[in-house]
Amino acid sequence: MKKQHIKLLEKDLKFLDDLLSKGDLPVRKQRRAIGLRELHRGKTYREVATLLNMSYPAVQAWGKKYKREGLAFLEDKPRSGRPIGISGADRAKITAIACTSPPEGYARWSLRLLADKLVELAIVDSISFKQVGNILKKTNCNLIEKDNGVFEK
């Protein structure tokens, strides 16, 4: 079986040495840099995987990514996830509406009533009462009823 290792460019090797000498790196980036340097020094994928307590396929992927992308692979790529659905301005509107007096016939705002009102005013397309509660909770919205029936923070 052929020994598998990576041959780094001189400038890449210098960059890795400078990067690792700083000492203040995210763990993932540090492991990738150390692994790449060790592969350059002639260690096999399996030896580097054992040294860094990583899986063999992960270290093998580092080698492939370096050949394809260069040192750019050291950085974490953006991860997928659900985008933020409600902007900061909309959150402020939700809080502002919660601080107004409730509709006629109600003593105070309920989360369900607020959610319905936000959809009615077209501030959001849809929102659950739980999400309204989470938004108000994050803004420390603690409404206190005054004698005239108006709520204040």
Tens digits of per-residue pLDDT, 28-43?
Answer: 999 999 999 999 998 9
Q: pLDDT-based confidence at 3, cuts 50/70/90?
A: low
pLDDT at residue 150, as a whole number: 46
Q: What is the pLDDT of residue 146?
A: 46
Q: What value does the CA radius of gyration of the chain take, rounded to a whole number of Å?
A: 28
Helices (H), the chain: 10-22, 27-40, 45-52, 56-69, 88-98, 111-120, 129-138
Output the pLDDT for position 153. 47
In single-letter form, the type of residue at position 101 comes to S
Inform me whether the pLDDT recorded for 99 exceeds 70: yes
Task: Tell me how far apart the alpha carbons of residues 23 and 13 are, in angstroms, rounded to a whole number.
Answer: 16
Residues pairing with 151 in the sheet: 145
